[in-house]
Amino acid sequence: MNYIETKIYTSSFGIEHTLNMLSEMGIEDAVIEDPTDIEDLMDKKNSYDWDYVDASVMEQVNEEPAVILYMEDSQEGQNKVQAVKAAVDKLRERMAQGEFGHGVSFGRMEVEARLVKDEDWKDNWKEFFKPTKITERMVVKPTWETYEKKSEDELIIEIDPGMAFGTGTHETTTLCIRLLEKYTEEKDAVLDVGCGSGILSIAAALLGIRNILGVDIDPIAVEVSKENVQLNRFSDVIRIQYGDLTKGIDYKADVVVANLMADLVMMLSCDVARHLTGKGIFISSGILIEKQQQVMEAIRKNGFEIEEVLEQGEWCAIAARLKRG
pLDDT value of position 20: 85
- pLDDT tens, residue by residue, 39-74: 454 454 443 344 334 444 444 445 788 998 888 888
- List Cβ neighbours of 82 (8 Å cut-off, separation of 6 or more): none
pLDDT value of position 38: 46
pLDDT value of position 165: 52
Cα angle, residue 170 at apex, residues 257 and 2 outer, rounded to 5°: 115
Domain 3-127 class, CATH top level:
alpha beta
3-state SS, residue 227: helix
For the domain made up of 132-322, give the CATH fold.
Rossmann fold (3.40.50)
pLDDT value of position 47: 39
pLDDT value of position 87: 93
- List Cβ neighbours of 134 (8 Å cut-off, separation of 6 or more): 140, 168, 169, 173, 174, 177
Which positions of the chain have pLDDT values less than 50?
38-39, 41-42, 44-61, 163-164
- List Cβ neighbours of 127 (8 Å cut-off, separation of 6 or more): none
pLDDT value of position 104: 79
The CA distance from 176 to 12, in Å, is: 23
- List Cβ neighbours of 56 (8 Å cut-off, separation of 6 or more): none
Domain boundaries, the chain: 3-127, 132-322
pLDDT value of position 180: 96
pLDDT value of position 277: 92
pLDDT value of position 26: 78
H/E stretch holding 174: helix 171-183
Question: Angle of helix 171-183 relative to helix 199-206, nearest 10 degrees?
Answer: 30
pLDDT value of position 111: 94
- List Cβ neighbours of 239 (8 Å cut-off, separation of 6 or more): 212, 213, 214
Rg (CA), the chain: 20
pLDDT value of position 56: 44
Q: Structure pTM?
A: 0.66
